[in-house]
Structure 1
Amino acid sequence: MTAQLNAYIHSEDAKTQAAFYAQALGGEIVSTMTYGQIPGTPEAMKDKVMHMALRAAGGNLLFLSDSVGLGGPDSSGTPRGLRFIALALSYGDEAEARQAFEKLAEGGEVKYPFELQPWGAYYGEIEDRFGVNWQIVKQ
Structure 2
Amino acid sequence: MAAKLVPYLMSEDARAQAEFYKNALSGEVHFVKTLGEVPGTPEAAKDKVMHLVLTVAGENTLFLSDSFQPAEGSRNMSLSLAFDDEAEARNAYTKLGEEGTIKFPFEHQPWGAYYGEVVDRYGVTWQIVK
Structure-to-structure mapping, 1:84-99, within 5 angstroms = none
2:27 aligned residue: 27
Identity among equivalent pairs (%): 53
Distance 1:25 1:15 in 2: 15
TM-score, normalising length from structure 2? 0.54
Distance 1:46 1:84 in 2: 25
Give the number of the structure whose residues are more often strand, by fraction: 1
Q: CA deviation at 1:32?
A: 0.3
Gap runs ≥5 in structure 2:
78-130
Q: Which runs of 4+ in 1 moved over 3 A?
A: none
1:16 aligned residue: 16
Corresponding position: 1:82 with 2:71: yes
Give the number of the structure whose alpha-carbon radius of gyration is greater. 2
Q: What do the CA deviations read for 1:30-59 (whole angstroms, capped 9, x no partner)?
A: 000000000000000000000000011111
1:38 aligned residue: 38
Corresponding residue pairs, total: 75
SS of residue paired to 2:7: strand
Tell me how large the CA RMSD over aligned residues is.
Answer: 1.8
Q: CA deviation at 1:84?
A: 5.9
SS of residue paired to 1:26: coil
Gap runs ≥5 in structure 1:
72-80, 88-139
Distance 2:56 2:3 in 1: 19
TM-score, normalising length from structure 1? 0.51
2:52 aligned residue: 52
